[in-house]
Amino acid sequence: SQDDTPGIFAEPWDYSDAPASAAYFADTRGSVDRLVDDVLRACRRIAERRGAPPPSVLRREGRYLRVRFDDAGSSSSTGEFYITPDDTTVQFRIAAEEAGGGGAVKNIDRAESIRKELRFMKLPVMRNRQRVFFFGESPFDTFGPGSASLGPPAEMAAGDMEGRDEPDPKVPLDFLPSPVGKRPR
């Protein structure tokens, strides 16, 4: 859910208003385990409703969970979920294991079903977009600081993010100009 490229980006989930959130807010190891258990249970319930076998756990370590979803035929997808420390967000990604597996829509639907099963909310994210065409997104657009316009954070030079215009909080999000300029060459 970190990559803001169209077709890949998905908003992280917020569990602060979920019915079971009181149990998650206890600052103990058990509360993190319960949250990860609930995510895994939701994955299994969604698979069962779709007539698919239950997902298998590939790795579970602290705040991190990786599962494999087996779909009809021989296709499969991997789902990763990370509970952000000191926050109420769940970062995730679900993708087909085979290159060009064509499961993007299926996996977007799967992620949305899991989120709804957990009764988590989508966390609104303002994407810093700079569109080439005014009527929609295209492969020629540039996106926020995590995209190719500035490179990965590890490769950003000191000061790359300094001096950016701050958006006006009174302007609706759909009409904000992009505060990201072109990267100096």
Instruction: Give the whole-number percent of the chain exceeding pLDDT 90.
Output: 27
**Which has more pLDDT, 108 or 67?**
67
User: Using CA of residue 84, residue 105, residue 43, residue 116, what is the dihedral sign?
Assistant: positive
Note the pLDDT tens digit of each residue in 73-87.
778 899 999 998 888
State the DSSP code for 100.
T
Note the pLDDT tens digit of each residue in 93-150.
888 877 665 667 788 899 999 999 999 999 877 666 677 777 776 777 766 544 444 4
Res 157 pLDDT > 80: no
List of residues 6+ apart from 31 with CB closer than 8 A: 23, 24, 25
